[in-house]
Amino acid sequence: MKHLLILIIVCLIGLAANTARASNNDYQKAGEAYERGDYKTALKLYRDLASLGHAQAQYDLGVIYFTGIGLEAEKNPQKVLGTIRDGIALIAKAAENNNPDALSMVASFYERGLKPYSKDLEKAHA
């Protein structure tokens, strides 16, 4: 029984390591797709990774939504506000996952009072 438990633990550790490698590989592919202007592929990969809790993908996707670059919102001004809100929410999620870039951006949201963040210099510099 003890050996079975050890085997299960080893398998779970291996699975976690493989998942992390696959996530990093997909993250790299997403960045490459975005750089070459293949936004459809990049967005799919970033969305998949973000939904799995990949903090850097959450941040990058949030920035894409925030700026609107590569989104349909670029062509439809009525969708811009919604994508900005989605971007802020994704950046906040990445900050909750301790992504340093996202933490810095959330601090700037507090510093500027960007909705839904009230201007709060104490929180901005915490």
pLDDT tens digits, 31-42: 999 999 898 899
- Six-digit token string for 51: 């939904």
55-67 helix and 39-51 helix, angle to the nearest 10 degrees: 130
Total domains present in the chain: 1
pTM of the model: 0.71
Which phi and psi (to 5°) does residue 23 adopt? Answer: -60, -45
Range of the structural domain that residue 26 is part of: 2-124
pLDDT tens digits, 83-125: 888 889 999 999 999 999 989 888 888 888 777 666 666 665 6
Rounded Cα gap, residues 54 and 59, in angstroms: 9
Query: CATH number for the domain including 65?
Result: 1.25.40.10
Nearest to 60 by CA among 107, 28, 36, 20: 28
